[in-house]
Structure 1
Amino acid sequence: MLLWPVYPNIGVDNRNQWDMVRDLPGGVAGVRQLIQDFHARGVKVFFPTMPWDTGSRDVGTTMHQATAALMAEIGADGVNGDTMDGLPLAYRTASDATGHPVALEPELAFKDDGMLAYNQQSWGYWTTPLVPLVSKWKWMEPRHMVHVCDRWATDRTNILQDAFFNGVGIESWENVWGWWNQFTARDGEVMRRIATIYRAFPDHLVSAGWVPHVPTLHYGVYASEFPLQGSTLWTIINRTDWDVNERIMRVAHQPGQRYFDLWNGKEIKPLIREGYAELSMPMEAHGYGAVLRVDRDAHVANLDATLKRLALQAARPLQSYSSEWKPLPQTMTPVEATPPATSQPEGMVRIPGAVFDFQVHGIEIEGENKPGLDVQYPWESVARRGHVHSLAIKPFYIDKHPVTNAQFKAFVGATAYRPKDAHNFLKHWIDGSPKAGDENRPVTWVSLEDARAYLRWAGKRLPNEWEWQYAAQGGDGRLYPWGNTWDAAMVPAPAKGRELPAPEPVGQHPQGASPFGVEDMIGHVWQWTNEFADEHTRAAILRGGSYYQPQDSYWYFPQAYKLNEHGKYLLMAPSKDRSGGIGFRGVKDALPL
């Protein structure tokens, strides 16, 4: 299990990759317990390391030392080297020095063959031609575990076949940073049957005598041989669009040897002639096969039970399982209307009702424009990156500026509010109060739940995203609140260092106001708007971008200064969701004039 708590949220403030792990629910103790729970179920746990994370908070030591120390502290089993073409020897040395050595698994192919000596695993981003490729790393070291990877594939037939041919694994990756790429029913069933074979015959799969591309008797059918003393395993794939069943392979035969069609869970009675056995078995189009040969007097542990289990799985053909992939539907958490204001609320700006041309797109770094990416508004049939919709907006009032520390302090004082999950809550305050001089700065380190609690107390609510955009843009589709040309003087000076300075006080850039007079809409602090969820994942839409701009990497949370762009911020728990770069403002519904 590879848990990825860092990207794509990292960069929303200056927390580094190790901070993001420590901010998981329950902190280090909670993560350690989670890993122990996985271990109790026979599952190893990996975390990533990001060599590109050089613009966030300085950890004060080397990356390899910080990573090794954290993995030892939480009891993790391995490290995935994000974007790395082999983890350097320094990671192996640092991990071993902790007394808690972990497995190393880079994302990309090794830049140096010698790295195979201390990188125990790797990912395989392979092309999938008709003739399956052979893993160089497994060929050189049969114990090396490759996970074949294609994170965006909605049909995983090719990577499953390539993995099975090589006797390696796949990176299943159903949750691609909030985009749910669920296995189809057919691919899931294939994975289950492959896993049954792998777990029954693990020693064969690391055989030093592995021979890929042994001959078969059919075009488009390919086989690998994994010999051990007393028995031999063949994994077979059918790349063609048709079923095959006769004379799949012809292998050397010795008297007394028996053959088992593992994929279908039954013994094969081969045709024996001239010292060879001709093996026939059914293989579906784009299907799989596996054969075990057992020598005379050799014993294979639990063979009868394994065959019985595989026969039960094979009773239903793969072609009867659906190969249809569907994106998960999302729902938007409703934003409840407030009692309408009967007069102009202090510190708020009236926004008139209108029919608004809402056009916005998500700026996620990856994912192209696949269905299910970004979010699904109530009027849409599926989540997608680009959104266009005309909708009637009722009049409302919106805070002229983001909520400040002083305003939030008044709420805490009046209600004694303290969230159940208080980790990182008002992290920038001292002894329950903002620092002297920070009273008029936007409040940050508040979760979506904290913001809603404040707004309920204030008789307000969060803006729907289209309300936020209309208040910032007006009706002419401009790119920025002040017009269509970027002007750095209209926003706070960006912070580009590794520390996170406090945001500017509100109201310092009145010249950058929207057509309605709303200020600090972009380039100040990110602002909470709508929440979306599917069966597995929650996310919030952030608007306005931030003054904090970590440097030196493309992979940090991207900015969204343009009014036709939004950021999608994955949610897990208030402890992790709170950020020094995210604030909010309130809305109150209004009566028509």
Structure 2
Amino acid sequence: MMVHDRYFYDPVAGRYTVDRYLDDLVARYGGIDSVLVWPIYPNIGIDNRNQLDMIEHLPGGKEGVKRMVAEFKAHGVRVLFPVMPWDTGTRDPGRPLPDAVAALMKELGADGVNGDTMTGVPLAFSQAAEKIGYPLAFEPEIAPQEDQLGWNVMSWGYFDYPYANQNPAVHVAKFKWLEPRHMVHVNDRWQRDRADMLQFAFFNGVGIETWESVWGIWNGFTVRDSEALRRIATISRAFPQHLTSRGWEPMTLTRQHGVLASRWPHADSTLYTIVNRNEYGVNGEQLAVPHVAGMRYFDVYHGVELAPRRTTDGQDVLAFDLEGKGFGAVLATGAKDAALDRLLATMRPMSARPLASYDRTWKPLPQRMVEQGASPRSKPAPEGMRTIPAGLFDFRVTGIAVEGINQAGVDVQYPWEDQPRRFHRKTLQVPSFHIDTYPVTNAQYQRFVDASGYLPRDRQNYLRHWQDGRFAPELANRPVVWISLDDARAYARWAGKRLPTSWEWQYAAQGTDGRLYPWGNEWDAGRVPKPETGRDPGPPAPVDAHPGGASPFGVMDLVGNVWQWTDEFSDEHTRAAVLRGGSLYRPQGSHWYFPQAQRLDQHGKFLLMAPSLDRNAFTGFRCVKDVQQ
């Protein structure tokens, strides 16, 4: 779960909405058992806050996060946070990462840790947690080694879904086979049709990573897959002892081509989890099991008792229906109890409607661009602004998010587009406007604060680089940072201005010849501030320190100093801002950090959650003002 999900946090009310988040999942597919709370990538690297800082900078700080974790756990949902071994270029946490992670998880009351990109979470993490008396569940992204299963008690499962030699197959989860208590979460973040994932999970008696917001790109479960998940999760949750049985027999014999089953014995009963890998329905006799006196058989999936056919060789043959790419479950037991009665009563109406009748259409979520409205108009350019003449502008820009390739739903959706996409191009008639020659400085922002008394409701990290409401003298002519998008808009309104659209910013920076940089088509390091590559970078450069970086219209400090706020986009689940210009901060050691966009035909997509997390050390802004015709 991305913390930026608007079902989880309400930025208007300024509060966590755990109930709303969980209620939505219960309604759509029956709810979750654990949640991986993800506040770090893809925004990490916008400044030098490390992965632990970004958890602590969630709304309410550590106390707020503790309350949020407790609320999940009050609903019976376990809570994990990620750890990223590649985060070696931001602020040094001051002690070994395993110790720092264990201490923070204990303080927050979290239950476990997901090891991003890790091939097995190293033993040091488990030892660090045990050393402070707070054992954690560790879950690497990549399959661990067999000798690491003692502490890697969970893992993500990236499966292939084969169909070989006319035989629709299913893989056996190796780590589940070696240690039946090991919990695999079947995962394929970009898969739009999850039918195979769900079948592999049910066959192996493991879980599903119901990952829908993929770095803010919505890849929601279809209605059909949601309903399938509701059914198999209801069954799986009813049989925890069976599904951790050391007597698990995957690929137990079935009687139909393409129908595959796992046998799960426990005490005096046996559960069979069954998948039909064929695209067509398979009805009739499915299983044959040795006859045991007094044994009864229940089609758990359909919620009914089965009448076996006894064979002359002492077999009980069980017949039931399996729809194409569907599921089945049979319980053999001599003792029908109240819990089984309740489960059958639940499953009978739930499974009455075929899965094939549910919509399996996948669609990207539509986005809208947040409209700012016009500013008060001025004919001459106010002091400190440049006038950009009206004209036709070939607006061509690409989003540079690390992941997502060119799938529908990636990046943003401009008003003339029918869905979000990475590549954007439109010839626009841009009216004349005035734009600030330089980004807004600390001195200018101080005048705004003093004159207006502005104080945001969410004050966490607001002007973090100031002391007692004042900036240090050497920062006067440097861009103001540690301000949110709303803080920037508040300044703009006070100044009788507004923030630029992305195409206004680009037009002012690029002119009409499509150049890649404000000064031309070749990168020139002498026209921008020197990059900061250390773990403890200094502040942005003075806004007028590099006059050689001017655009054709004389606009300064556009690239390579601070990112600059422009447009905001939102869909039902995510808000994001388009950032322009890149910054001087370049954390080293990984390509997963927030990528730079100094080129004028590129922009960054920055996920928005709350001002406390959104504010950072290398994002500022400049304003525009509408022209009186």
TM-score (norm 1): 0.98
Q: Does residue 240 of structure 1 match 2:278? A: yes
**Structure 2 CA distance for aligned equivalents of residues 299 and 217 of structure 1:** 26
Query: Which of 151, 162, 165 matches 1:118?
Result: 151
Query: Which of 430, 439, 451 matches 1:402?
Result: 439
**Structure 2 CA distance for aligned equivalents of residues 344 and 581 of structure 1:** 28
Query: Which of 600, 603, 607 matches 1:570?
Result: 607
The secondary structure found in structure 2 opposite 1:302 is helix
**Structure 2 CA distance for aligned equivalents of residues 497 and 56 of structure 1:** 8
Partner of 1:375: 412
Partner of 1:540: 577
**Structure 1 CA distance for aligned equivalents of residues 574 and 519 of structure 2:** 36
User: Cα distance, 1:199 vs. partner?
Assistant: 1.4
Query: Which of 98, 111, 114 matches 1:64?
Result: 98
The secondary structure found in structure 2 opposite 1:84 is strand
User: Cα distance, 1:511 vs. partner?
Assistant: 1.2
TM-score (norm 2): 0.93
Write the letter of the residue equivalent to 1:58.
Answer: D
The number of residues matched between the two structures is 589
Write the letter of the residue equivalent to 1:289.
Answer: G
The secondary structure found in structure 1 opposite 2:564 is strand
User: Cα distance, 1:184 vs. partner?
Assistant: 0.4
Q: Does residue 51 of structure 1 match 2:76? A: no
Partner of 1:203: 241
**Structure 2 CA distance for aligned equivalents of residues 284 and 309 of structure 1:** 19
Mapping 1:149-228, distance limit 5 Å: 149-228=187-266
Partner of 1:74: 108
**Structure 1 CA distance for aligned equivalents of residues 175 and 103 of structure 2:** 28
**Structure 1 CA distance for aligned equivalents of residues 375 and 351 of structure 2:** 58
Identity over aligned pairs, percent? 57
User: Cα distance, 1:204 vs. partner?
Assistant: 0.5
The secondary structure found in structure 1 opposite 2:265 is strand
Query: Which of 462, 482, 495 matches 1:458?
Result: 495
User: Cα distance, 1:299 vs. partner?
Assistant: 4.7
**Structure 2 CA distance for aligned equivalents of residues 532 and 97 of structure 1:** 45
Partner of 2:465: 428
Partner of 1:17: 51
User: Cα distance, 1:202 vs. partner?
Assistant: 1.1
**Structure 1 CA distance for aligned equivalents of residues 435 and 455 of structure 2:** 26
Mapping 1:346-361, distance limit 5 Å: 346-361=383-398
Q: Which runs of 4+ in 1 moved over 2 A?
A: 298-301
The secondary structure found in structure 1 opposite 2:118 is coil
Query: Which of 330, 334, 341 matches 1:291?
Result: 330
Partner of 2:547: 510
The secondary structure found in structure 2 opposite 1:358 is strand
Q: Alpha-carbon deviations, 1:538-571, whole Å to 9, x = none?
A: 0000000010000000100000011110000000
Write the letter of the residue equivalent to 2:377.
Answer: P
Partner of 2:518: 481
The secondary structure found in structure 2 opposite 1:240 is coil
**Structure 1 CA distance for aligned equivalents of residues 579 and 337 of structure 2:** 58
Partner of 2:306: 268
Q: Does residue 447 of structure 1 match 2:480? A: no
Would you say the 8 A contact 1:351–1:471 is kept in 2? yes
Would you say the 8 A contact 1:2–1:45 is kept in 2? yes
**Structure 2 CA distance for aligned equivalents of residues 342 and 128 of structure 1:** 64
Partner of 2:137: 103
Write the letter of the residue equivalent to 1:198.
Answer: S
**Structure 2 CA distance for aligned equivalents of residues 358 and 520 of structure 1:** 20
Q: Alpha-carbon deviations, 1:401-438, whole Å to 9, x = none?
A: 10000000000000111111001000001111111211
**Structure 1 CA distance for aligned equivalents of residues 130 and 427 of structure 2:** 59
**Structure 2: 5+ residue runs without aligned partners?**
1-34, 163-167
The secondary structure found in structure 2 opposite 1:461 is coil
Write the letter of the residue equivalent to 1:489.
Answer: G
Partner of 2:22: none
Query: Which of 119, 125, 129 matches 1:91?
Result: 125
Q: Alpha-carbon deviations, 1:252-292, whole Å to 9, x = none?
A: 22121111111111011121112111111111101111110
Q: Does residue 250 of structure 1 match 2:283? A: no
The 1:195–1:528 alpha-carbon spacing in structure 2 relative to 1, beyond 3 Å, is same
User: Cα distance, 1:500 vs. partner?
Assistant: 2.5
Write the letter of the residue equivalent to 2:331.
Answer: L
Would you say the 8 A contact 1:49–1:79 is kept in 2? yes
Would you say the 8 A contact 1:335–1:464 is kept in 2? no
User: Cα distance, 1:98 vs. partner?
Assistant: 2.1
Tell me how large the CA RMSD over aligned residues is: 0.8
Between stretches 508-517 and 571-580, larger displacement belongs to 508-517
Write the letter of the residue equivalent to 1:222.
Answer: L
Write the letter of the residue equivalent to 1:229.
Answer: A
User: Cα distance, 1:373 vs. partner?
Assistant: 1.1
User: Cα distance, 1:235 vs. partner?
Assistant: 0.5
**Structure 1 CA distance for aligned equivalents of residues 316 and 203 of structure 2:** 21
The 1:117–1:109 alpha-carbon spacing in structure 2 relative to 1, beyond 3 Å, is same
Query: Which of 367, 374, 378 matches 1:341?
Result: 378
**Structure 2 CA distance for aligned equivalents of residues 253 and 179 of structure 1:** 52
Query: Which of 529, 538, 559 matches 2:596?
Result: 559
